[in-house]
């Protein structure tokens, strides 16, 4: 049998691809990798298509035993990974042998790491995605996080070359302060001029109040003129502001509709940076045009599409 046996699922590990799209009308959330940049590089290194399913490890503490030979790459948060007790580097490939154990400590930089396997994982394809939706109980292993004893089947393909390593210039940093680009929405009129000035000129703190649904930020209050609106669809990166005045950035497992005013939306490719921010990190916001947001998003996905050619 080709695959991994889960020895320890860690804090929270699950199967994720880039997520499911086009099903919000029936209430299904997007789900998918919280950091598509690290996810994309992991797949690139082992020769997979961008949207191949990976293991997403949140915070750390996980370990896996290889049931067969396989080629892997680990990208994202630094969880001090080891193979059979010996330290191994991120952002490059390794050829595992049967019985090898890959183990992770806890993240000292970033929050999410990804294990890609050449050929991908053989998990259920549900509503257009291999992703596990923890909130809705959909996807691999009945929509739950990984636990000890789980078998994750793989194709067991070899590495595309003896060793592949990402160039240093492409390896992202996970700083303690990040700037997120924001496109204002049509509800911006619910926030007066002072609120807009406060929002775009303040540093907010992520105190760890968050999960795959979204991150709540603490800092200067921006109080909308209305405490609620009629429930409406919510996009990835939407910045909801409840009556307490502290913004919440909605992420991969956000609810599909909501009734809080939104001052704008963080562009998709910056949500990946936010996902990796550790508790205590600072967030600043910068307004950009819709066209700039579209260019940044197109450039991101075009880059990875070109790697598949």
Residue 163: strand, helix, or coil: coil
**pLDDT tens digits for range 103-115:** 999 999 999 999 9
Q: How far is CA 75 from CA 43, 106, 157, 206, in A?
A: 9, 14, 19, 23
The pLDDT value recorded for residue 130 is 87
Q: Where in the chain is the domain with CATH 2.40.100.10?
A: 177-308
Query: 72-89: per-residue pLDDT in tens?
Result: 999 999 999 999 999 999
Kind and range of the H or E element at 75? strand 70-78
Is the CB of residue 223 less than 8 Å from the CB of residue 206?
no
Q: What is the pLDDT of residue 154?
A: 86
User: 282 burial class (0-12, 13-18, 19+ CB within 10 angstroms)?
Assistant: middle
- Reported pTM: 0.92
Q: Please list the ranges in the chain whose pLDDT falls under 50.
A: none
Task: Say whether domain 177-308 belongs to CATH 2.40.100.10.
Answer: yes
Comparing C-alpha atoms, which of 35, 54, 64, 34 is closest to residue 115? 54
């Amino acid at each position: 049998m080709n695959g991994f046996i889960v020895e320890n699922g860690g804090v929270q590990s699950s199967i994720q691809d880039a997520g499911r799209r086009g099903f919000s009308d029936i209430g299904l959330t997007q789900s998918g990798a919280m950091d598509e940049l690290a996810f994309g590089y992991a797949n690139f290194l082992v020769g997979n298509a961008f949207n191949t399913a990976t293991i997403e490890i949140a915070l750390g503490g996980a370990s896996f035993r290889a049931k067969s030979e396989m080629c892997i790459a680990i990208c994202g948060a630094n969880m001090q990974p080891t193979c059979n007790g010996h330290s191994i580097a991120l952002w490059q490939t390794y050829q595992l042998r049967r019985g090898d154990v890959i183990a992770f400590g806890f993240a000292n930089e970033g929050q999410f790491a990804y294990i890609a396997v050449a050929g991908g994982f053989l998990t259920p394809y549900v509503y257009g995605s291999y992703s596990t939706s923890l909130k809705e109980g959909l996807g691999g292993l009945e929509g739950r996080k990984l636990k000890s004893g789980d078998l994750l089947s793989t194709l067991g393909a070899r590495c595309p070359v003896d060793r592949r390593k990402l160039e240093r210039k492409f390896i992202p940093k996970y700083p303690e302060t990040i700037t997120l680009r924001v496109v204002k929405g049509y509800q911006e009129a619910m926030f007066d001029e002072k609120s807009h000035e406060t929002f775009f000129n303040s540093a907010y703190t992520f105190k760890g109040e968050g999960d795959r649904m979204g991150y709540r930020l603490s800092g200067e209050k921006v109080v909308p003129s209305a405490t609620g609106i009629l429930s409406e669809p919510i996009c990835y990166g939407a910045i909801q502001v409840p009556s307490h005045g502290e913004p919440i950035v909605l992420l991969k497992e956000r609810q599909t509709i909501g009734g809080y005013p939104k001052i704008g939306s963080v562009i998709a490719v910056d949500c990946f940076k936010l996902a990796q921010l550790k508790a205590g990190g600072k967030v600043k916001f910068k307004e950009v045009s819709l066209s700039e947001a579209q260019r940044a998003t197109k450039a991101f996905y075009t880059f990875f599409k070109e790697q598949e050619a």
